[in-house]
Structure 1
Amino acid sequence: MSLLFLAAVNVSPEAMAQGANDEVVREAQPSQSVQNVLREEHALFSDRLTIEPGISYSYSDRSNLALSGFLALDAIFLGNINVDTVESHTTTFDLSTRYGITNRLEVELMIPYVYRSSQYETIGAGASTGGLVEESVSQGDLGDISAGIYYRLLPEAEVRPDVVWNFSVRAPTGKHPYDIRTNSRIVDDGEGGFENLTVPTSLPTGNGVWGVSSGLSFLKTVDPAIIFANIGYTHNIKRSFDDIGSSEEDVPGEVNLGDSIRLGFGTAFALNERFSLSMSFTHQHAFETKVTTDGGPEQTVIGSSANAASVNFGATYGLSDTTSIVTSVGIGLTDDAPDLTLDFRIPFQI
């Protein structure tokens, strides 16, 4: 789904075979460092099977402040203060396989396993700003499996970037979030107690609906840099569930998960035959989700739209002609983006 512009294709001496009389010339191939960037940011179209195990970690936290009282003398707040904080840790183990059927067509399959852990905290227990209540919830399960194809529309020319169209399908194989029950912590306030902190009993590992995505990626060689950009759109298909509520009573209904549009751009530098550095910007906007209970009208879920933007820094190193190490660090720029993302992958060809 990446729209990429790439530059700096280094050519190794081995990539050219030339006879003594210059009668036989073989097309130059990108260096190992450039191939790594192509694989991660665009499409390599290699006629060898690429297997890429990886692990990624993301961290985010969000705080909500609730005030119940009034402001005295325009400076002093009199009343109750309640602060809710959610810290989320998500670790994804995935296995991706890619194969270039031709020099213009590549297929991909990705299978993830997702482990999530969230800690919920609230200040204001017992009507006291010093009272703290916390609860942790964790969940590990198969994520949403996806499969896709990449097709080269236009090869790179002197004044034209390499243009690749991509299409993928995401299956709802992960645990969906639409029937997860909630529990409330009972906090003793000296008068019999009250509900102060509500947390889910488990966490989702998938979206729960089928999704189809399409996009374009562009790459252009601008020696000595590799410049890239990408744009794509994801459509989530409506799906009915036997229960979409969080209470003990089943609430049948239909979920229309909001579609999303994404874009990104960046640059990479192949410093030598095996090592490259990259930096990029990515942004994704998710539209609002709508739900319809049986016999009821369609309702928009307030606060379900999101804007996630981040800046990313990466590095690749070729251990050999068939194996590489790929790392990246992402820093969130908006409230909806993870605060920190770490990614580590080891693609190898067979």
Structure 2
Amino acid sequence: MVALGLLAVPPAMAQQAGGEDARLNELQRQINEQTSKLAQMRQSLQEQEAGLAQLQQSLNEEILASARARGAPAPVLLPSLSQGVGYAPSATVGAATPAPAAVAQQQAPEPNAEVPRQRVGQAPESDSRPPEVAQIFDQPGVLTPPGKFVLEPSLQYGYYANDRVALVGYTVIPAILIGLIDVRQVKTTTGVSTLTTRYGVGKRFELELKLPYVYVNTDTISREVFTGSAQDRVFNVNGSGVGDVEMTARYQINQGGPDKPFYIGWLRYKSRTGRDPFEVVTDCVTRCVANTTGTGLPLESPTGSGFEAIQPGVTWLFPSDPVVFFGSLSYLHNFKRSNVTRTLLLGAEENIGDIEAGDIIGFNLGLGLALNEKASISMGYDQSIIDRTKQNGKDIPGSARITQGTLLLGGTYRFNDNVSFNMALGAGLTRDTPDLTVTARVPITF
């Protein structure tokens, strides 16, 4: 009977039940679509929050780096994403920091002011470049911006004086010498005019080329041994010409920031395009054709070292308000020369074999301070340890390890965004170091 009742259900009721199921399925589909859209919106919101955090961090780093480079007062940065990043130029280092709400109120835009639009989640373009400091060392710390070209003419003046006393004889009592005394003073004045070009290949890579022109004047004042003369003799030589051309490549290794060091690796190649010491005529002591008791000094000053060299190194900068600490470590290797000949009087030549100049370990330390938006000063110490020179695999008699130490003070004044003037003063701290060096640079950016 039940089966017969079911079979007796009218067709209209069956059709109504099928329409209700279709409507429920449609509602379920719409709910599923809304749920999927909500999940997508939630994911998009999380991505936007992460982008805002990255945007704020990049902006904070850019503001701090810019303030340090210009010598501007310390900015006030707000870490709250809801309030945005506040920048109070009037705040000074050591002064009381205003409350975040007050700074946010100061920086709030006007109701009718146009707010610049920026794509959410995309950080602004930043060079992440180290702060600029007054250059006092040969290797600069700030790389050239990408696509920019820097032309830097410079002029360096150096003065070096050294005294040498040779005693030949024997003493009867202290302060009484029986024999001869050779007193020799060597005074050298150098002037180097250099044209330096730098080009920024990328945000973290630059190439540099140096073209020097050298002038050297040396005065030797002496009373030579075995001459019996009571008067001083002055032996003067000078020379001028193109020096050793240099090429350097620099790469910023990491992305530093406030209280984070920047590391810049570099590789320098030095040619021997200048006239080397073996090419100039020597007034020799032995094997001379016309003078067997010569001074042993060159008759013309060389303008180059006479050796090709390669020098890897690393420079670091550590910005820490209100100063920037910087320094470098390097190692210079001079390539050995084989079958070297020395030019003597009357065009004669003497083969002196294989010569290998000593390698050089160098390091320096310094700090820079920005005085205002245009002026900054730097001070530092530079030291080089020069190894002995070898001839035919053995140390040359009289050759010794040399340590050169220089105390440097410099300043930079920026006329505009493209032209600045830099002056550096160096004072020698050891007897083997030039007594005085003065360097002036005018970097011009195109």
TM score, norm. by length of structure 1: 0.84
The Cα offsets for residues 183-204 of structure 1, whole Å up to 9 and x where unpaired, read as 379xxxxxxx994744311111
1:10 paired residue number? 70
Q: Is the 8 A contact 2:159 2:437 kept in 1?
A: yes
1:295 paired residue number? none
Q: What is the identity, as a one-letter code, of the residue corresponding to 2:247?
A: A
- Alignment counterpart, residue 201 of structure 1, candidates 295, 299, 302: 299
> Aligned to 2:276, what secondary structure does the other structure show?
coil
> Aligned to 2:307, what secondary structure does the other structure show?
coil
1:189 paired residue number? none
Query: After the TM superposition, which residues 43-192 of structure 1 pair with which residues of structure 2 at under 5 Å, given as runs?
Result: 43-47=142-146, 48-123=148-223, 126-128=227-229, 130-183=230-283
Q: Is the 8 A contact 1:114 1:205 kept in 2?
A: yes
Query: After the TM superposition, which residues 159-308 of structure 1 pair with which residues of structure 2 at under 5 Å, given as runs?
Result: 159-183=259-283, 195=293, 197-244=295-342, 246=344, 248-251=348-351, 253-292=353-392, 298-301=393-396, 302-308=398-404
Q: Is the 8 A contact 2:378 2:411 kept in 1?
A: yes
Q: Is the 8 A contact 1:232 1:261 kept in 2?
A: yes
Report how far residue 310 of structure 1 moved.
0.5
Rounded to whole Å, the distance in 1 between the matches of 2:443 and 2:139 is 10
Rounded to whole Å, the distance in 1 between the matches of 2:189 and 2:135 is 28
> Aligned to 2:278, what secondary structure does the other structure show?
coil
Rounded to whole Å, the distance in 1 between the matches of 2:253 and 2:292 is 62
Identity between Structure 1 and Structure 2 (%): 27
Q: What is the identity, as a one-letter code, of the residue corresponding to 1:155?
A: Q
Cα 1:177/1:194, change in 2 over 3 Å: closer
The Cα offsets for residues 159-183 of structure 1, whole Å up to 9 and x where unpaired, read as 5300010011111111111243323
Deviates more, 1:269-278 or 1:79-88: 79-88
Q: Is the 8 A contact 2:260 2:319 kept in 1?
A: no
Report how far residue 226 of structure 1 moved.
1.5
Q: Is the 8 A contact 1:276 1:317 kept in 2?
A: yes
Q: What is the identity, as a one-letter code, of the residue corresponding to 2:70?
A: N
2:104 paired residue number? none
Report how far residue 154 of structure 1 moved.
0.9
Q: Is the 8 A contact 2:144 2:150 kept in 1?
A: no
Rounded to whole Å, the distance in 1 between the matches of 2:324 and 2:71 is 14
> Aligned to 2:350, what secondary structure does the other structure show?
coil
Cα 1:341/1:140, change in 2 over 3 Å: same
Report how far residue 82 of structure 1 moved.
1.8
Q: Is the 8 A contact 2:340 2:355 kept in 1?
A: no
Report how far residue 34 of structure 1 moved.
2.9
TM score, norm. by length of structure 2: 0.67
2:25 paired residue number? none
Q: What is the identity, as a one-letter code, of the residue corresponding to 1:34?
A: E
Report how far residue 258 of structure 1 moved.
1.3
2:38 paired residue number? none
Rounded to whole Å, the distance in 2 between the matches of 1:345 and 1:69 is 51
Rounded to whole Å, the distance in 1 between the matches of 2:409 and 2:124 is 35
Rounded to whole Å, the distance in 1 between the matches of 2:418 and 2:267 is 27
The Cα offsets for residues 224-267 of structure 1, whole Å up to 9 and x where unpaired, read as 11111110011111122451465734315222111111000011
Q: Is the 8 A contact 1:133 1:197 kept in 2?
A: no
More helix, by proportion: 2
Q: Is the 8 A contact 2:162 2:187 kept in 1?
A: yes
Greater Rg over alpha carbons, structure: 2
Structure 1 residue ranges, 4+ long, deviating more than 6 angstroms after superposition = 27-31
Rounded to whole Å, the distance in 1 between the matches of 2:430 and 2:418 is 38
Q: Is the 8 A contact 1:254 1:291 kept in 2?
A: yes
1:345 paired residue number? 441
More strand, by proportion: 1
Q: What is the identity, as a one-letter code, of the residue corresponding to 1:160?
A: K
The Cα offsets for residues 114-156 of structure 1, whole Å up to 9 and x where unpaired, read as 110000110368524x411111100001111011111111121
Report how far residue 158 of structure 1 moved.
4.4
> Over aligned residues, Cα RMSD in angstroms?
3.2
Report how far residue 346 of structure 1 moved.
0.7
Q: Is the 8 A contact 2:250 2:265 kept in 1?
A: yes
| Consecutive unaligned residues in structure 2, runs of 5 or more | 1-64, 74-86, 88-108, 286-290
Cα 1:251/1:40, change in 2 over 3 Å: closer
> Aligned to 1:9, what secondary structure does the other structure show?
helix
| Consecutive unaligned residues in structure 1, runs of 5 or more | 1-5, 186-192, 293-297
Report how far residue 103 of structure 1 moved.
1.1
Rounded to whole Å, the distance in 2 between the matches of 1:11 and 1:339 is 33
Q: Larger RCO: Structure 1 or Structure 2 (Cα < 8 Å, ≥ 6 residues apart)?
A: 1
Rounded to whole Å, the distance in 2 between the matches of 1:155 and 1:71 is 67
